Structure formats: structure tokens, C-alpha cells
Amino acid sequence: MFAEDIGGWLVAGGVLFGSWATSMLALIALVPATRGRRRLTLCLITPALIMAVVAVCYFANMYAHRESHDREEIFVNYIQPWFFMGLPPLATSALTTAFLLWNSRKK
């Protein structure tokens, strides 16, 4: 029972839950962004940006270790999971950064 290799599932689960957690952190960064606290906002969105890069590297590593690829496999095994693991932290950090820049230009 314990002889199975669960390393891939552990990494994927860590990336998935890490991306969700850092996405929430980036959304929480909207509060200091509304008050113009630039340093705190940047500190809160940095983990989300790092997690987006980690997700891209994870899928690039998975893609590089396979020899043959077809369109359906690329879409199902790489692009769809990236929408759940890489896109949320990237989108929330971009949203918070855009709001911070918009708010600082408004003042």
C-alpha cells in the first residue's frame, strides 16, 4: 500500500492549494491597495506571482518529460490544470496591481 509513488500527486496538490491560498492573499491585498500602502500591497501579492511562476515551471517540467504529445493531451493534461493552478494567482495579483496603480494615479 505504501509502495505507490505519490510524489506527483503531492506536488500537484501543493501547487493547487498553494495557488488558492496565495490568490486569497492577493485579494486581501486589495485592502492596503485602497489605502495607498504600496509596500504592504507588493509584499502581499509577491507570493501569488511566485506561485504562478511555480505552476508554469511545474507544467513545463511535466511537458518536457514526455516524448510524444498530441493536441488533446496538451489541452487536457497541461492547459486545463493550469487554469486552476496558475491562472488564479496570476489574475488576482494582476488585479491588485492594476488597482494599486489606478488608485495611485487617481490621487
For the chain, 107 residues long, give each residue's pLDDT as a single digit of tens. 455 667 678 888 888 999 999 999 999 999 999 998 999 999 999 999 999 999 999 888 888 887 777 888 888 888 888 899 999 999 999 999 999 999 888 76
Q: Please, how many CA atoms are within 13 Å of residue 9, restricted to the half-sphere of its CB? A: 3
Are 73 and 5 in contact by the 8 Å Cβ rule? The answer is: no
Rounded distance between C-alpha atoms, residue 93 and residue 98, angstroms: 8
Model confidence, pTM: 0.83
The three grid cell numbers given for residue 36, joined into one nine-digit string: 495607498
3-state secondary structure of 16: helix
Specify the amino acid at residue 95. L
